[in-house]
Structure 1
Amino acid sequence: MSDTKSPAPPASEYQDDEPLERPTGPAQAPAANGGLVLTTQCEFPAIARGASRDRFAVLVHAKAPSDVALAPLDLVTVLDVSASMKGQKLELLKQAMCFVIDQLGPTDRLSVVTFSRHASRLTRLARMSDAGKASAKIAVGALCVLRGTNIGQGLRVGAQVLSGRREKNAVAGMILLSDGHDSSGRWTSVEADGTKGYANPMPPSCRRQSGRPAAPIHTFGFGANHDAAAMHAVAEATGGTFSFVGNQAAIQDSFARCVGGLLSVAVQEARVAVTCLHRGVRVQEVKSGAYGSNVGADGRAASIDVGELYDGEERRFLVLVYVPSARATEEVTRLVKASCTYREAATGHARLAAAPAAVVQRPSELTKLPAPSVDVERECVRLAATEDIAAARVAADGGQNAGAARILESRLKAVERSAPGAAGDDPTCEAIKEELRDLSARVGDRAEYQKTGRACLLAGMSSHAQQRASGMDVQSTSKASAYLTPKMEEMVEISRESSAKRGGGSSGKQPVKLAKVEEEV
């Protein structure tokens, strides 16, 4: 591989993707397991007839079907081969990539892009047949390091591979890995408030269109010296997750978790619609994290763009509504109804899921406040923790490290006092407690914050905003367990088994003999 000084070619030069494998059997029928399940749950089961409530929470819960047919994947990996990757890091990356190659099937396609001062497409988007895998492994085995770190150029070439496709698999995604800071001088821009921004250098095809990006970019900060803010910004702008791989040896497991999700996309183009039923009910706000939401001007309806869901993956959203006082004879108030339109990823069939109406009882008097819904309270706990993690990041970036630690410690105490947190057996709350303890220990000391704390905070923000497990916590038994899907967990187990067979290293299912190459620095 040479460090060419020519600019990246236009997208038209990459219209050479290998044709898709044509199905030989009958077309797949819609899933017979009932598809996506949508439910609603009210904050309290009852409100006194003469009382009104402001910002009354209704939880909308969507769960994708499990064990469905898998949709084929178009995957582009954009890999940093700058000089700082020399040695063990490059070898670990090669092993992790060989593992990824082994997990892809003959209907999946892969393209490998590398970047240093410039970017190169090493392999076209090719099906992972036996021949395709062998070719991809040769390219990966020949990786060598070069000067410079042009992250933006790597993204542009990766985007050109995807945008230039003549044919498209049902699912597409990009993995971006870097261990350093962009050295091109064109990556960082300064916003009006003085903060750094990273959206401008990104290719237009990478950005969100009609609410969702063409393909999510899942970013991996490799080691302690990467630009966590930039990597987080890329993931946030495209609907991907940002993972901090502080333990370099964990890169294969981190890739495994990400690829396990991409290979198990069950639902696409999911969109939740919420409609008010009672004439006096109004939607005031939707707590949807990274997912775009819209509330109608009159408050009578709202929508959430959910996008893709992995096999068995879940999403929870809080819809805050105004509940008016009831008429003298009104025993039940029907608040809202929720429905979800989506496509089955494997078949392309359009489907519709609907939840029973969310209702509250309206007794003439409430002598005792009813117990709140544990599910709703758990989501309120998660959202509050997410907001304080973001607040701690702002404080620490402003040099207020002690204040950032206090924010997290205060939130930890609040979680411990909450009903689900005090029980001690709620997996979500236990994971949040562990996360808050870990983060508070990393942000209080300025040096530790700059080394690992900022990246961990940003990875946590990314995971919570997407409600999706990132690759940073593969060494933990409980952290972010609320977001793990069985397929993601299964892929990590396969990774660890393959590592054990190699005697502790990370590789694919079959040991791969990597080519020895001279590394240019």
Structure 2
Amino acid sequence: MGSKWRKAKIALGLHLCVYVPRTLDDSPPSLDAAGRYSDVSSLSPVSRNSDSRPSMLTSPSPSSSGLRLSKSGSRSLKRTCAICLATMKPGHGHAIFTAECSHAFHFQCIASNVKHGNQVCPVCRAKWKEVPFQGPSSELPHGRARINPVDWPQDDAWMTVLRRLPPTRPGSHRHIASMFQAPEPSLFNDDDPLSIQSELAERPSSPKEDLDSNSNRTMDLKTYPEVSAVSRLNTHEGFTVLIHLKAPVASSGQNLGRGTANMPATTQTSRAPVDLVTVLDVSGSMAGTKLALLKRAMGFVIQNLGPSDRLSVIAFSSTARRLFPLRQMTDAGKQHALQAVNSLISNGGTNIAEGLRKGAKVMEERREKNPVCSIILLSDGQDTYTVSSPGGSQPRPDYQSLLPFSVRGSGNTGCKIPVHAFGFGADHDAASMHSISETSGGTFSFIEAEGVIQDAFAQCIGGLLSVVVQELQVEMECVHPGLRLCSLKAGSYTSHLMNDARTGYIDVGDLYADEERDFLLSVNVPAAGESGGMTSLVKVRCVYKDPVTKETATLEGDEVRIQRPENAGHRVVSIEVDRQQNRLQAADAIAAARAAAERGDLTGAVSILECCRKALAETASARAGDRLCLALDAELREMQERMASRQMYEVSGRAYVLSGLSSHSWQRATTRGDSIDGSSFIQAYQTPTMVDMVTRSHSMLLGSPTIQPPVRPARSFQLRPQPR
């Protein structure tokens, strides 16, 4: 018998076929109900007869490549992983995955095998309907922050999760392959028509429901004077009035993830459908884990779009290509989109400008338009075709030149299409990406850790899928004849004071559900003489459009009045006004620190931030324990740490600072650093729908709908004691 096994081993080493006679101890391997071997009975595929039963192994022939093993050999293979050939005994620190064909593997081995698109068993070649994928726990032990998937521990704490694959249509792979080779049309006017039925499906189902929701679809407008009383004998220069806006709350169908983390997104009701174009970097630097995580994140986006939402994907490297036109995300549309995204490969350079041009072309040439539209741009590198390198002899061109004019818009035409830019990793051009988003009215997010990309996309679409206000304009007018408007502090929003300084306006645009906006208006209060009493300062109103009903609404605010006694006494500043003044002061300090850092003065930049922190600590709202002030202090401290050295600033400091500036200038949540919940500071602008979508992302990763949601905007921080 020894000689026979020796021949078998030699033949295996030479990739030959050999027949080993069965001994008395051997017995044929058993078959399961599907007619497949339940044990590993061959080291290569076995030919089958037409009735699907395994054919009998015969003497060696070119068409017979099976190797019959003894029972002991079969048992040995069952105890080893067919991929890494290591033991699969329980208790050795490895999770075990048993496929539907009954073959078992180390979970990490088979998950790595299928993440590149493999859907067949490595042993029996059976096609699987469910494949394993990996996901980390939302919070690692000892309070550690979330880290990159390549660093996740492979131990028993991991869960075996199955992803149901959509059924494959005949010829679908040929269609995807030909899609990348077929010439693109000269006009991108081949978008799917808007479906009236699907539009109606996303609106309230009855007039009663529409009536009940009217109270929730009204904006909230409040105004706060800096102080309640000013002496009537004196003028007051630069008197501050706070204008506070809050968008309507989300409807029941928009509360994504709150107790419905595993509910299909297509059940959403009463929201405006979206046209979304994603412009994705697939250059050579995206190879490996980055591209795999990008595909997973895009899969999450696709699965959470509704049937009335339309999606188009642009992939760019040295050139750019539209993978498919704007398609409605019905079941068929989602399957087509998933197949296209999964077919992406990485190579070539980075031509951001070409990708943006093609994304803008999709938007401007579409035949029909959904109420909400946006572009998502992700890149991990410098634009090697339009922008010269930092060390190059040629001066860097204006970053705004990367953005097509059709996206930038002009003046107050309202033609801007917001580009939400995501800088991926340490090598992207943060200044360029921030400029692109700032010019278009979008946000810039810094994805420092690879594993955060899906959460970052989730937060973004959580907002886009909850737009409740459009074309919002805030108008203010002086009431007192002697009053004049001095300035408007509106961040990146377009604002204007008329020549007579009696009226002004702010163009706000779209608001997500539950989003808040705060603007500071400065006025000159004249003396009231002997008349005393009350002085009416300004009156504020809002004009906006409901994206679902398409109706225009006007909201009138109350007149802002102050008392005019002869002696106003001690000034007690409004906490609401004080905290917003602190926010603007912090934003100005961040901008000044960034300018100093770009000049090479990191010491000066850190000093600017430290002075701002000390000033904030002395304010009334900080002494009262205001959460926003505590969060601002934590944010400034984080920026100081990222400016500790030139290398640290280049790697992560610049992107972190620019993402913070983007968030404060638009008063909208961005992703920065290595965690979606802002491990170092509160996400002051994160809305409930954003939080819910991030919760859904976590639930998808863990395969469990019961995961606790991330920390909501109620977390507080302790101020670091100041040296005396």
For 1:37, which of 210, 216, 220 is the aligned residue? 220
Given the alignment of the two structures, is residue 57 of structure 1 paired with residue 240 of structure 2, yes or no? yes
Aligned pairs for 1:213-232 within 5 A: 213-232=415-434
For 2:644, which of 423, 426, 444 is the aligned residue? 444
Given the alignment of the two structures, is residue 497 of structure 1 paired with residue 699 of structure 2, yes or no? yes
Offset, 1:434: 1.1
Q: In the alignment, is the contact (CA less than 8 A) between 1:8 and 1:153 conserved in 2?
A: no
TM-score by length of 1: 0.91
For 2:194, which of 8, 11, 20 is the aligned residue? 20
Q: In the alignment, is the contact (CA less than 8 A) between 1:257 and 1:491 conserved in 2?
A: yes
After superposition, the C-alpha distances for 1:149-178 in whole angstroms (9 at most, x for unaligned) are 000000000001111110110100010000
Q: In the alignment, is the contact (CA less than 8 A) between 1:7 and 1:118 conserved in 2?
A: no
1:390: which partner in 2? 591
For 1:121, which of 305, 322, 343 is the aligned residue? 322
Q: Which amino acid aligns with 1:158?
A: G
Q: In the alignment, is the contact (CA less than 8 A) between 1:217 and 1:238 conserved in 2?
A: yes
Offset, 1:423: 2.6
Aligned pairs for 1:88-99 within 5 A: 88-99=289-300
After superposition, the C-alpha distances for 1:394-425 in whole angstroms (9 at most, x for unaligned) are 1001100111111111111111211112233x
Distance 1:237 1:8 in 2: 29
SS in 1 for 2:578: helix
2:282: which partner in 1? 81
SS in 1 for 2:504: strand
Distance 2:562 2:344 in 1: 62
Q: In the alignment, is the contact (CA less than 8 A) between 2:535 and 2:564 conserved in 1?
A: yes
1:322: which partner in 2? 524
Q: In the alignment, is the contact (CA less than 8 A) between 2:402 and 2:436 conserved in 1?
A: no
SS in 2 for 1:124: strand
Q: In the alignment, is the contact (CA less than 8 A) between 1:220 and 1:245 conserved in 2?
A: yes
Distance 1:462 1:125 in 2: 28
Aligned pairs for 1:81-480 within 5 A: 81-185=282-386, 197-211=398-412, 212-366=414-568, 368-424=569-625, 426-472=626-672, 474-476=676-678, 479-480=681-682
Q: In the alignment, is the contact (CA less than 8 A) between 2:222 and 2:557 conserved in 1?
A: yes
Distance 2:669 2:479 in 1: 35
Offset, 1:215: 1.5
Distance 1:488 1:183 in 2: 34
Distance 1:202 1:188 in 2: 18
Q: In the alignment, is the contact (CA less than 8 A) between 2:221 and 2:243 conserved in 1?
A: yes
After superposition, the C-alpha distances for 1:294-314 in whole angstroms (9 at most, x for unaligned) are 001111001000100000101
- Structure of greater Rg: 2
Aligned-residue identity in percent: 44
Q: Structure 2 vs 1, CA of residues 273 and 475 (structure 1 numbering), >3 Å: closer, same or farther?
A: closer
Q: Structure 2 vs 1, CA of residues 350 and 79 (structure 1 numbering), >3 Å: closer, same or farther?
A: same
Q: Which amino acid aligns with 2:219?
A: L
More strand by share: 1
Distance 1:186 1:451 in 2: 19
Q: In the alignment, is the contact (CA less than 8 A) between 1:60 and 1:319 conserved in 2?
A: yes
Q: In the alignment, is the contact (CA less than 8 A) between 1:188 and 1:197 conserved in 2?
A: no
Q: In the alignment, is the contact (CA less than 8 A) between 1:428 and 1:481 conserved in 2?
A: no
Q: Please list every run of at least 4 consecutive aligned residues from structure 1 whose deviation after the TM superposition is greater than 4 angstroms.
A: 1-10, 24-31, 186-189
Distance 1:188 1:327 in 2: 64
Q: Structure 2 vs 1, CA of residues 231 and 4 (structure 1 numbering), >3 Å: closer, same or farther?
A: same
SS in 1 for 2:529: coil
Q: In the alignment, is the contact (CA less than 8 A) between 2:353 and 2:386 conserved in 1?
A: no
2:110: which partner in 1? none
Q: Which amino acid aligns with 1:179?
A: D
Q: Structure 2 vs 1, CA of residues 308 and 480 (structure 1 numbering), >3 Å: closer, same or farther?
A: farther
SS in 1 for 2:383: coil
| Consecutive unaligned residues in structure 2, runs of 5 or more | 1-176, 205-209, 252-269, 706-724
Q: In the alignment, is the contact (CA less than 8 A) between 2:376 and 2:419 conserved in 1?
A: yes
Aligned Cα root-mean-square deviation (Å): 2.3
Offset, 1:209: 3.0
Q: In the alignment, is the contact (CA less than 8 A) between 1:188 and 1:196 conserved in 2?
A: no
Give the aligned length.
Answer: 496
Offset, 1:210: 3.6
SS in 1 for 2:610: helix
Distance 2:614 2:181 in 1: 55
Distance 2:563 2:285 in 1: 63
Q: Which amino acid aligns with 2:364?
A: S
Q: Structure 2 vs 1, CA of residues 393 and 65 (structure 1 numbering), >3 Å: closer, same or farther?
A: same
Offset, 1:125: 0.4
Offset, 1:258: 0.3
Q: Structure 2 vs 1, CA of residues 356 and 379 (structure 1 numbering), >3 Å: closer, same or farther?
A: same
After superposition, the C-alpha distances for 1:3-30 in whole angstroms (9 at most, x for unaligned) are 99999865xx210000112147598658
2:117: which partner in 1? none
Distance 1:377 1:478 in 2: 23
Q: Which amino acid aligns with 1:446?
A: R
SS in 2 for 1:184: coil
SS in 1 for 2:334: helix
SS in 2 for 1:32: helix
Q: Which amino acid aligns with 1:142?
A: S
Distance 1:170 1:82 in 2: 32
Q: Structure 2 vs 1, CA of residues 187 and 330 (structure 1 numbering), >3 Å: closer, same or farther?
A: farther
Q: Structure 2 vs 1, CA of residues 469 and 326 (structure 1 numbering), >3 Å: closer, same or farther?
A: same
Distance 1:152 1:502 in 2: 40
Q: In the alignment, is the contact (CA less than 8 A) between 1:57 and 1:319 conserved in 2?
A: yes
After superposition, the C-alpha distances for 1:217-263 in whole angstroms (9 at most, x for unaligned) are 00000001000000000000000000000011100000000000000
SS in 1 for 2:196: coil
Q: Which amino acid aligns with 1:137?
A: L
Q: In the alignment, is the contact (CA less than 8 A) between 2:240 and 2:522 conserved in 1?
A: yes
After superposition, the C-alpha distances for 1:368-416 in whole angstroms (9 at most, x for unaligned) are 2231000101010000100010011110011001111111111111112
After superposition, the C-alpha distances for 1:264-295 in whole angstroms (9 at most, x for unaligned) are 00000000000000001111100000100000
